[in-house]
Structure 1
Amino acid sequence: MVKSLCRSSVVGLVLVMVAVPAARAASDGPGSPGYGRQLTEDICGECHRVSKTPTAKPPPMQEDLAAPDLTERMRDPGITELALRSYLQTSHPVMPNIRLNAEETDDIVAYLMTLKGGSR
């Protein structure tokens, strides 16, 4: 009985280990645009406009700090996934020093790339 329970637990664990990466791979690259949008709104939205929705207004601080509108900035063909990753890992004098883990970076990049309107 114990052997059977252990075996079924191992099989269940293996299935979870296979299913999670497969679900992530089913997206269009690393990161979740849905989670990335929420993170971007929470982390960047105080200073930057981060959504194309018609009701989205630039944050009050954007004018004071001259923080770029990210929905417009993402139109630049020079803003690539690699450029975003580099930018997110570099400190900037006028921005807070935000530390993101790899998954948060993937999610934010995935969301920002959707603002381009095309595929990544």
Structure 2
Amino acid sequence: MLRWGLGALCASVACAGGALAQGVGDARAGRAVATSLCIQCHDIDGAARDPSRVPPGFGAVADMASQTALSLRVFLQTPHGAMPRYQLTPTETDDVIAYIQSLRAR
């Protein structure tokens, strides 16, 4: 009985973790944040997919194999280059991450 209980618990935690990883943020709200803050320098519509462009378009960022929700979160919260130091709320950060991930080429 205990053995079955632990297995069921592990399975439910694994499923919940996957759902949380995929369900974070609102891509539509993330596009609105990107339109207000990022569009001055970045191509945000996903059409620009050249990873060598500086700064890269969001489509190129989305296509990078190394881009996970965690790596995007760290990047957005870390000063880098000449990019303005925006102070996104946790919700805005989640939304921008969801938007960038929605641009990933399928």
TM-score, normalised to structure 1, is 0.61
1:49 to 31, 43, 46: 43
Letter in 2 for 1:106: D
Alpha-carbon RMSD: 2.1
Offset at 1:73? 2.3
Match of 1:17 in 2: none
Letter in 2 for 1:37: R
- The unaligned stretches of length 5 or more in structure 1 are 1-24, 57-62
2:34 to 20, 35, 40: 40
1:89 aligns with 2:77: yes
4+ residue runs over 3 A deviation: none
Offset at 1:117? 3.7
**Deviation string, structure 1 residues 37-89 (Cα, Å, up to 9, x no partner):** 11112111100001036xx9xxxxxx8xx311221221111111111000011
Q: Could you tell me how far apart the structure 1 residues matched to 2:105 and 2:32 are?
A: 18
Match of 2:57 in 1: 69
Match of 1:101 in 2: 89
- The unaligned stretches of length 5 or more in structure 2 are 1-18
Q: Could you tell me how far apart the structure 2 residues matched to 1:51 and 1:38 are?
A: 11
Q: Could you tell me how far apart the structure 2 residues matched to 1:77 and 1:39 are?
A: 24
Max Rg structure: 1
TM-score, normalised to structure 2, is 0.68
Q: Could you tell me how far apart the structure 1 residues matched to 2:34 and 2:91 are?
A: 13
Q: Could you tell me how far apart the structure 1 residues matched to 2:89 and 2:61 are?
A: 23
Q: Could you tell me how far apart the structure 2 residues matched to 1:73 and 1:32 are?
A: 18
Q: Percent identity?
A: 34
Query: What is the number of residues matched between the two proteins?
Result: 82
